[in-house]
Chain A
Amino acid sequence: MSQSMEQALQEAKAVAKNVRKNILVMTNRAKGGHPGGCLSATDILAVLYKCYMKVDPKNPRWSGRDYFFLSKGHAVPAQYAVLIEMGFLDREEMKDFRGVEGRLPAYPSCEITPGIDMASGSLGQGLSVANGTALAAKLNGTDQRAYVMLGDGELHEGQVWEAMMTSAHFKLNNVCAIVDYNKLQLDGSLDEVKTLGDLRAKWDSFGWHTVEIDGHDFEQIYKAFAEAIAYKDGPTVIIAHTIKGKGVSFMEDEVGWHAAAPSDEQLEIALKELS
């Protein structure tokens, strides 16, 4: 491991730790939200923002920025928490999560939240949007990249497969999709509700470069994004095997934590575990 990578990953780990805590604080205060799918996505988001995303917190709409789209919009507390760490948002704003005031609605809104480029909350739409920004970057001759995170249950949506064909057809090597493959959804396990079968083979056959990793291993995450950037022949998907509720003992792999807020007692226990 190179020294620079090691240092970058230490920083990303510190970010992830704070993000996890803030996800729990936000959902506890709001008495609602989706902590399970936030915690599974946290490590990936921390590495992506800390090590790769070209963005400017002082100028969120900087025209040269990289794009990130959280297609699984219910995990937006994780993105808010990352944006706090990156300096886009103020820590104090967490009190407004899911509230009538403030800039942190339950699902992403690009109109009011700095650092967020697209609304989501209706699943399946993010990859199409990422493709549009990637095509625009190609047209402009810039090296901007478009990242999109999809839930695994979200892959049931047909639009995702339409968009997968679009990315491959236009050889969008500036598109990188991440599947947060935590294997649980609202109604139960993915395999119970509707199995994805051989997910890697599906992406492969759609013309994508496929990288499969442990989505909580920082070195693997770091290398996967590097591989996506290096791959020039088309789009790359990172299939990240993750654990829903990762980092909080009583939430891990529990389907009930898809959409439920921790109580004050549970928050206290969780924060202790994470400190």
Chain B
Amino acid sequence: MMIAPREAYGKALVELGKENKDIVVLDADVAKASMTVLFKEVFPDRFFDLGIAESDIIGTGSGFAVAGKIPFVNAYANFLLGNGWEQIRISVCYAHKNVKIIGHNIGASSGKDGPTHLPLEDIALTRAFPGMTVIEPVDGIEIIKAVKALAQHVGPAYMRVGRLPIPVVTKEEDEFIIGKANILRQGSDVTIIACGVMVSKALAAAEALSREGISAEVINMHTIKPLDKEAILKSVKKTGAVVTAEEHSVIGGLGGAVAEFLSCANPVPMQIVGSQDRFGVCGSYEEIHQVLGLTAEKIEEAVKEVLSRNSWR
């Protein structure tokens, strides 16, 4: 089954709006793309379109939070974070306001719109803010739980939402707790830590590797910050090798977060699968993933590389 994260997100906002009258939704003229239009249709008085003004929308969201509302602030991730970075830094994070910043069309999910519209740096940008929670739900089922968890969570948070359908890898009954990783496949030879759409590719890679006798553990690290260090350590102490995978640059993202932790706590051979130091291209979702090296095959190669280092030692 495939679900577009944004579709599930729009529906989740409507559910949340029914449960909690303090929820307000702000958008920067992309409501039909972000699917916040669904919320607008049901709760027009709690929906605010601020036009193409990403710096302003962050500050306005922060004002709502000052007044006790729970604002979900939406725009394309690269424009929202690029134009609103300093506003997020001061008016949200330093001020410690309860603002939910939702970055849309993440990774390669804008497809043929091309490089200007493909945010591959947003995890790095948001992870650097003191006190910011950073989440990338793994699929259209998990995102519904993530939206509810975000509303319960008090404090600044950033969530990545993709535009195009991605495989569903979790079930309704699976637990989602901010900051607590989910192990989707047990294994003993290598730990694969992934987020978002790359989790499904990690699972495919693990399946292929198992046919070659390699047992890979796959962790859905839906919360990139705060990182579930306990889960990482437990798995890596068992496997002794780690590969990360993300629909994001290899600079400053999930791989960076895991490397920062493990290099100090428990160094093991590691590879980071992600976009290299480059921009995206125009193309279909799958074509861009091929060009950027965001594939199950790349994860398999990375696993074999880290394991070769272990056997060499």
Residues of chain A at the chain B interface (Cβ within 8 Å): 63, 67, 109-111, 117-122, 124-137, 139-140, 144, 146, 158-159, 162-163, 165-166, 169-170
Known pairs A118-B91, A159-B59, A166-B50; list 17 more (Cβ under 8 Å).
A67-B67, A111-B95, A111-B96, A118-B95, A119-B94, A122-B89, A124-B55, A126-B59, A129-B63, A131-B63, A136-B63, A159-B87, A162-B53, A162-B55, A163-B60, A165-B51, A170-B48
In the bound complex, CA of A118 to CA of B62 (Å): 9
9 closest residue pairs by CB, A with B? A132-B63, A128-B59, A136-B67, A162-B56, A162-B53, A129-B63, A119-B95, A132-B60, A159-B55
In the bound complex, CA of A124 to CA of B55 (Å): 10
Select from chain B the residue with minimum beta-carbon distance to A124. B55
What's the dominant secondary structure at chain A's contact region? helix
Assuming the contacts A131-B63, A166-B53, asked whether A125 and B91 have C-beta atoms less than 8 A apart, the reply is: yes
In the bound complex, CA of A117 to CA of B188 (Å): 52
Bin chain B's interface residue count.
Answer: 20 to 34
- The interface centre, meaning the residue of A125, A129, A163, A170 with most chain B CB atoms within 10 A of its CB, is A129
In the bound complex, CA of A111 to CA of B55 (Å): 22
- Contact of A120 with B67 in the complex, beta carbons under 8 Å: no
- Contact of A136 with B59 in the complex, beta carbons under 8 Å: no
In the bound complex, CA of A163 to CA of B54 (Å): 10
- Contact of B67 with A125 in the complex, beta carbons under 8 Å: no
- Contact of A135 with B48 in the complex, beta carbons under 8 Å: yes
- Contact of B55 with A158 in the complex, beta carbons under 8 Å: yes
Residues from chain A with Cβ under 8 Å of B53 in the complex = 159, 162-163, 165-166
Instruction: Select one of A118, A125, A140, A165 contacting B66, CB under 8 A.
Output: A118
Residues of chain B at the chain A interface (Cβ within 8 Å): 24, 45-46, 48, 50-51, 53, 55-69, 71, 86-87, 89-91, 94-96
Residues from chain A with Cβ under 8 Å of B94 in the complex = 109, 119
Assuming the contacts A159-B55, A163-B56, asked whether A135 and B64 have C-beta atoms less than 8 A apart, the reply is: yes
Residues from chain A with Cβ under 8 Å of B66 in the complex = 67, 110, 117-118, 129, 132-133, 136
In the bound complex, CA of A158 to CA of B54 (Å): 11
- Contact of A130 with B56 in the complex, beta carbons under 8 Å: no
A–B Cβ pairs within 8 angstroms, 26 of them: A109-B95, A110-B66, A118-B62, A118-B95, A119-B91, A122-B90, A124-B55, A125-B91, A128-B57, A128-B59, A128-B62, A128-B63, A130-B63, A132-B59, A135-B48, A136-B24, A136-B64, A136-B66, A136-B69, A139-B24, A162-B56, A165-B51, A165-B56, A166-B50, A166-B53, A169-B51
